[in-house]
Structure 1
């Protein structure tokens, strides 16, 4: 009887954690998809799009060549429209 109760308690804990993770992912996806009605890109997206390293992206930020936005989780995001303007200016588009 105790084993069954213990198992059910653990399953509830695990399911609760999955729910918490799911809510966090939903919140992050909504943030990434829309910021002032615009699509947001993160560092990984930008590296793939521009074909550069994360360090190069950091240099662009330091030199204020590329506008960026941070969220409360500390992650950096870029508006797709501003990235497009940057790419046109750099001749990559």
Structure 2
């Protein structure tokens, strides 16, 4: 085991910097907490598994405005209630007026 000795003032400075970094991180994420606490959010993979569709089909749903989404750090998230609503009306690819066919 290696032991490293540092001055107390240096250790205190490191502690203060870590506290400041933690505070910055908490402040940056605080605005997103209410969004995620109110409703369950799903990522691409979870939506595809839940709906039984491919990622390409999911992209088509997004492009056509059938499934709203939010982007956070270059990743898409979908409200569970929106996915359930889309499932409730039936799989969109079975509906001719959406431009999808089941062929």
Structure with higher helix content: 1
Name the residue aligned to 1:56.
Answer: 57
Q: Structure 1 unaligned runs (5+)?
A: 7-22
TM-fit CA distance, 1:89: 1.3
Name the residue aligned to 1:84.
Answer: 84
Higher CA-based Rg: 2
RMSD over aligned Cα atoms: 2.9
Structure with the bigger RCO (C-alpha within 8 Å, sep 6+) is 1
1:45 aligns with 2:46: yes
State the alpha-carbon separation in 2 of the partners of residues 44 and 69 from structure 1: 15
Runs of 4+ in 1 over 3 A off after TM superposition: none
Q: Deviations over 1:17-59 (max 9, x none)?
A: xxxxxx9xxx7xxx6xx62600000001011101111111001
State the alpha-carbon separation in 1 of the partners of residues 74 and 85 from structure 2: 24
State the alpha-carbon separation in 2 of the partners of residues 50 and 81 from structure 1: 13
Alignment of 1:1-93 (within 5 A): 4=2, 35=36, 37-71=38-72, 73-90=73-90
Describe the SS at the equivalent of 1:76.
strand
Normalising by structure 1, report the TM-score. Answer: 0.59
